[in-house]
Structure 1
Amino acid sequence: MATGLLTDEAAEQIVTTCRTAVGDSFRSATYFTRDDYEQLYLREDLERDADLSTFIGHEWRGFTTAQTAYENSELGDYNYTIRVFDNGFLIRVTNESEGVLVTTDGLTLKDFEEVATALNSFLGERALD
């Protein structure tokens, strides 16, 4: 499963983290940087026709916009984004150089917090390497 962006181990760690946190509600996971992306997982019952390059471009710009807009606010540091759609949810966990998009079926806020915390930890460990 080596992507060129991630080792097999890192890609599997993201997928396992998401699967553990959200179980059967897990729809997809895509790892991205400013310049590239790789879909790491797509549940078998879903179509493979999403325009990921557009999604990634929007989510990267969204991250930088949100981070700048809320900088030094009383809300504290930006952590992650949840987007709600008719047929599922998207969670974006991003740092200065990379991120992960995860799509799910219905979840609780606690489930989102769990997956975001685990992915933030993963991205933080990579930043130290």
Structure 2
Amino acid sequence: MSNLLPEEAEEKLVTVCRTAVGDSLRSLTYFNRFDYVQVYLREDLEQEADLNSFIGNEWHDFKMTQDAYRGSELGDYEYTIRVFENGYLVRITVEDFGVFVTTDGISMQDFEALAAATTEILDEWAIEE
């Protein structure tokens, strides 16, 4: 448990992600500009990733992407999917915080469900802050 998120919030995020992608969920990390907490790591995976580097990259890239496409005909930025040899990373971010979720292979429909459900929770928290 971390001081960044209450246990209830961590459990809610895991439940939403597991509901959206099931056993394909590999990991879930909540982050803001200054800190992060790995909320979930599937038990068959080793905790070896350099999350600090991931967070720096994802935060910087979110801000750059959001600024670069603001006002474009594509509409508002929603989420990012990164494709890797052994899985996918989905970054879902609101103004000051977000999550990145890693998964095994899932369908585009699953990505959309994951992003929609997670964004709904993040938006609720943004309003409360």
TM-score of the pair, normalised by structure 2: 0.98
User: CA-to-partner distance for each residue in 1:68-99, whole Å, 9 max, x for gaps?
Assistant: 01011100000000000000000000011100
User: 2:116 aligns to what?
Assistant: 117
Gaps of 5+ in 1: none
Residue type of the partner of 1:10?
A
Runs of 4 or more, structure 1, over 6 Å off, are none
**Distance in 2, Cα, partners of 1:4 & 1:34:** 15
Partner of 1:29: 28
* Matching of residues 69-88 of structure 1 within 5 Å: 69-88=68-87
CA RMSD in angstroms, aligned pairs only = 0.6
Which one-letter code corresponds to 2:56 in the other structure?
Answer: G
What is the SS of the residue equivalent to 1:40?
A: strand
Give, in angstroms, the shift of residue 47 of structure 1.
1.2
Deviation at 1:104, TM superposition (A): 0.2
Cα distance between partner residues in 2 of 1:34 and 1:96: 10
For 2:43, the aligned partner's letter is E
Instruction: Report the residue type matching 2:88 in the other structure.
Output: F
Letter of the 2:8 counterpart: E
Give the equivalent residue in structure 2 for 1:50: 49
Find the residue that maps to 1:72 and give its secondary structure. coil
For 1:45 and 1:115, the matched residues in 2 are separated by 21
Give 3-state SS (helix, strand or coil) of 1:90's partner: strand
1:3 Cα deviation from its structure 2 partner: 1.4
In structure 2, C-alpha distance between the alignment counterparts of 1:87 and 1:8, rounded to whole Å:
29
1:6 and 2:5 equivalent?
yes
- TM-score normalised over the length of structure 1: 0.98
Secondary structure in 1 matching 2:2: coil
For 2:72 and 2:48, the matched residues in 1 are separated by 38
* Structure 2: gaps (5+ residues): none
Q: Percent identity?
A: 59
Count matched residues. 128
